[in-house]
Structures are given as structure tokens and as C-alpha cells.
Amino acid sequence: MLDWLKNIKKEYPEFWKAYLGKFENKSNRYVIFSTETTGTNLKDDVILSIGAIGVIDDKIKVSDNFETVIFQYKFLHDHGLSNDSIINSKLTKMTEDQAIQSFIEYIGNATLVGHQIQFDILMINEVLEKMGCGKIKNEALDIEIMHQKLHDLANKPIRWEDLSKHYKINVSENNTVLDEAYSMALVFLKLKSRLGIK
């Protein structure tokens, strides 16, 4: 009860208030996204990069994309890991707060799509909590669950590498998170069509 009362009086950052105001109407836009993280522990691990691409009317909009590398020097240093990949990356580099704010502004009220997407959303929500915001409100579709439903696999987990092979999508070990988001968009469109999702 007290937490609920605290949230009523909470003053959110401006970008978050603008984001919350976008949900009066349903979007016809999907945002397929992927994150690279240091691990799977929500409290101890961090996001290293985010890649996303938009889909509207069953078409991948290549110009509608988002990709950034996140400065995590302290985490990497504290865990004896190299910062070289961040230093040498040609991608846009942002602080964690800048990256998450930019990502929230980018997604708007789109439906989010990814592979095992709940983990990615939970990681982003961890950062949003530190920034004094709420949790992501967007609807979400998981291509792993879509695949399970199509093939009646009763919640059998499937790795992204196996899923991409099943749908004949070439995935390189050198793919960036944006490349991965694009590949996921291709799989999503196949699944969306076969499942009859509008």
C-alpha cells in the first residue's frame, strides 16, 4: 500500500512521461530487438549493446533502426574483462542511461518482438528502475513461443541458432545485435504469416 502511494507522488523524468503518453492508441509498428549482455543475472549483469529494427505492414523498414554500444567500463574492469570491444567499436557509444532513454524514445508504443524477449525486457527494466522510471508498457511477442505454438512443442525451449537454421536464416558469429534483430525480423514475419497474426 505504501509503495503504491509513493508512486502516485513520484516525479518521473520527462522522457518517461512522454513515453507513457503514447499508449492511448495502438501502434501498427513492431520493433524487433536484441540485447547483448554480460550474463543472465538480472541484478549483477549488464547490457553491453542493443540493436533494433522496425516492421510495418509486414515490411522490414531498414531505415527504422537503432543500435548502440553501452559504456560499461567499470563492470568490465571489475570483472577482469577487456574494454577493447567498446573502445574499438565503430557503433554509437552511450552511457547506460543515455542508451536506455534513447531506446525508450525509439520504441514508442510499438509491439516488441524478440527471442526469449522477457529476459531482454527484464534487463531494460532493471536500468529503468535505477533511473527512477517504471517498467516497459509495450505489448511483447516472443518468436520462441510463436514457433512452439506453430509446431505444438509444449514449451520446449529452442536456441536462437537452432531457430534461425530451422527457418533457413544465415547467422554469422560476427553478427552485430542489429544484424541479429534483422534476422529475427525475417523469422518473425514467417511465423506471423503462418500463425495468421494481423
Give the pLDDT band (50/70/90) at residue 50: very high
**In this structure, is residue 6 part of a structural domain?**
no
* pLDDT reading at 24 higher than 80: yes
**In this structure, is residue 149 part of a structural domain?**
yes
Q: What is the pLDDT of residues 76-125, one digit of tens each?
A: 778 777 777 776 777 788 999 999 999 999 999 999 999 999 999 999 99
pTM for this predicted structure? 0.90
**In this structure, is residue 1 part of a structural domain?**
no
Q: What range defines the domain where residue 160 resides?
A: 26-195
* pLDDT reading at 186 higher than 60: yes
Q: Is 69 exposed, middle or buried (0-12, 13-18, 19+ CB in 10 A)?
A: buried
C-alpha torsion sign, points 165, 169, 170, 174: negative
pLDDT, mean of residues 169-185: 88
**In this structure, is residue 171 part of a structural domain?**
yes
What's the one-letter identity of residue 121? I
Q: What is the pLDDT of residue 189?
A: 97
Q: What is the pLDDT of residue 122?
A: 97
Based on the structure, what is the number of domains in the chain? 1
Please give the full DSSP string across 64-102, using - where no structure is assigned: EEEEEEE--HHHHHHTT---HHHHH--S-EE-HHHHHHH
pLDDT, mean of residues 187-195: 95
Q: What is the pLDDT of residue 96?
A: 94
Q: What is the pLDDT of residues 110-166, one digit of tens each?
A: 999 999 999 999 999 999 999 999 999 999 999 999 999 999 887 788 999 999 999
How much is the mean pLDDT over the chain?
90
Q: What is the pLDDT of residue 113?
A: 98
Q: What is the pLDDT of residue 197?
A: 85
**In this structure, is residue 5 part of a structural domain?**
no
**In this structure, is residue 9 part of a structural domain?**
no
**In this structure, is residue 13 part of a structural domain?**
no
**In this structure, is residue 16 part of a structural domain?**
no
CATH of the domain at 40: 3.30.420.10
Q: What is the pLDDT of residue 187?
A: 97
